Structure 1
Amino acid sequence: MSKKRKRVSRRRLAGQRVLAHVGVHNIETGEYKPVTAARRYIAESGIVPPALVNVRRNEHTTDRFFWGEKGLFSAQYAEENHFLFPSLREIVDRIGEENLFAGLEALASDDWEEMEEYEYAFV
């Protein structure tokens, strides 16, 4: 039986391109749960948003978090809803939407129009 192909989300791809311009911190969980380890690391290091924190649970699993103005979010949520974060909007404005999102129009997905409806709503 052939494997079904996963649907490509232009909205998530756009978010991945934006998050590629954010600083990344890699840590180990140690004795804590991944989100607790990320929160402790952010507090101890004084990390300023926006930032990505990769927390390695074991040799097979890594949890990704986005440190934004309003708190800690999963990186996947931040990718899909990047237009909700003011600091990510600043990145888009600095680089330019034309440059950052070039080529995404050709991909097949219907949630691109949904993103444009938000017009970068601010949380």
Structure 2
Amino acid sequence: MIVNVWLFRTLGLKFPLKGAERFAGGIFRARRNLPPSNEWGPLTDLPDYSFLDGRVPKTTTLGQRKRLVKQYEMTKQIVGLSSELNEANKRLVEKQNEETKRAKVLSESTLKRKGSQSCYNK
């Protein structure tokens, strides 16, 4: 047990180990604000080769195709939700305008003084 504690301290690990995030580069990647695995980044998102005449290469691997489809679906969902938010904001503004108009009409329809104003100013 003494050897294990010494080993943990020399490696810079806290004792006891609490989870699997410490293994497979977890601490290294977390300290450098990197993703936990190869989920995104230039090595996974960009193609493996390029053409000299400027053409864009097609997706080459199954993983790239899956990521493109997943990103497309996520983009569709984001666009749909943002349009719903815009519509809800428009409805809210319209409702607030109707409330202010109703309050204005109500305040104008109240009883008004009769007679000349000079009588009341004395």
TM-score normalised to structure 2 length = 0.19
Normalised by the length of structure 1, the TM-score is 0.19
Q: Which has the higher strand share?
A: 1
**More helix per residue:** 2
Greater C-alpha radius of gyration: 2
